[in-house]
Amino acid sequence: MNRVDPVHPDIFSNDDQAAVGYDPSPPCFLSGFNLFSVMKYPVILALILLSLILASGCTHSIQPQVTSALQKVPVGGLQEKGTTFISSILSRLSLSQPTPGETSGVLTVRYLDVGQGDSILVQTPSGKTMLIDAGTIDAGPTVTSDLKGLGITTLDIVLATHPHEDHIGGMSSVLNNFTVKQFIDSGYPDTTKTYETMLNTIDQKNIPFKTVKAGDTIDLDPGISFSVLNPPSTFSDNINQNSIVLRMTYGTVPFLFMGDANSDAEKNIEAGGTDIHADILKVGHHGSSTSSSSTFLSEVQPKVSIIEVGAGNPYGHPAPATLKRLAQEGSTVYRTDLDGDITVTTDGTTYNVNSEYRGN
């Protein structure tokens, strides 16, 4: 049976609601809020609407309901003033979903001090999280503790740049302590026990798994773009050369995450013709002499270079030659062996670097 509004019986019947596409259960907490029941009091509705839209964060889902309802309200007197006010509210508020390139809030990238290894946490303004690598087996508990200390219980994406132990050793600890919505891998097959254990854990927990290659993109947050620059379609015999390399852009601030990519991978990336400029560079392969060539750095033009490296490591990382090339490029260098955890925050226009030991 149709229920008709006693004041405007020709407007608010159930049939009319269906005709304007009214959804009685929009996907947000406003599901119990029936706009039609109070539309006869448009000024009051305008005030309620403004409060709820600003508080709810569900502006996208209520927009069609409001727009259709406004078209059904008779104009005149307070009705006209109320609907004009509501229209003004809608025109001044952004009622669409965020689009790539938009910035709203602060993006945080944490380069965790895991000794001789890599682990990077990306936290978007909307609360999405992405973990790139997890350090060695011994570093697994440190990574887990750091994430829990930040109040993280779920990771939207966990990504392994390549299957070396100093990048994936801590993955089992991470996968067993957090809900992981998606796991991304280079797809390069490896026969080590560490890699096998990681894959078995992913399988046992039914974590969605996919591989990426150059030319792909990664969807984490609508306001942030991720371009995959490496590995190529055909793998090299060199595991480091097959590292996933990511370029992340938030507003006008680009980041480059190099994994352990070497100079051969850098040449392939340059040959791809994509934009590789980055304000913030995660230096490839812990600053080894076989990465960060002068040609590559001249293309990237990093203002800040971050090296994840262990103190007193047996490999001589970072190589003096690499540090010299970074200095010649005018890049400010931060190192986890000297600076501890390094945190970069950006609003999409400017950025700030803070280190555990050095400060700002």
pLDDT digits (tens, 9 = 90+) for 53-111: 545 444 443 444 444 444 444 444 444 555 455 455 444 444 444 555 566 799 999 99
Q: Are residues 31 and 155 in the same domain?
A: no
Full strand arrangement of the beta sheet holding 107-111: 209-211, 183-185, 157-160, 129-132, 120-123, 107-111, 342-346, 351-355
Is the peptide bond preceding residue 231 cis, with omega within 30 degrees of 0? yes
Q: Are residues 85 and 111 in the same domain?
A: no
Give the span between the Cα atoms of 87 and 145, in whole angstroms.
49
Q: How many domains does the chain have?
A: 2
The average pLDDT across 227-248 equals 96
Q: How much is the pLDDT for 104?
A: 77
Give the range of the structural domain holding residue 37, as residue numbers without chain letter. Answer: 14-92
Residue 188 clears pLDDT 80, i.e. is over it: yes
Last residue of a domain, one of 45, 63, 92: 92
Q: Are residues 83 and 115 in the same domain?
A: no
Give the span between the Cα atoms of 301 and 206, in whole angstroms.
41
The average pLDDT across 329-338 equals 98
Q: Are residues 144 and 261 in the same domain?
A: yes
Residue 194 clears pLDDT 80, i.e. is over it: yes
Q: Which residue has the higher pLDDT, 90 or 114?
A: 114
What is the DSSP code string of 234-296?
S--S-TGGG--EEEEEETTEEEEE-TT--HHHHHHHHHTT-----SEEE-GGGG-TTSS-HHH
Single out the residue of 150, 162, 182 nearest to residue 117, CA to CA: 162
Q: Range with the lowest mean pLDDT among 62-71, 85-94, 141-150, 209-218?
A: 62-71
Asked whether residue 99 is assigned to any structural domain, the reply reads no
Cβ-count burial 216-236 (b if 16+ within 10 Å, e if not)? eebebbebbbbbbbbbbeeee
Residue whose pair of structure tokens reads 């203002």 in the numeric block: 303
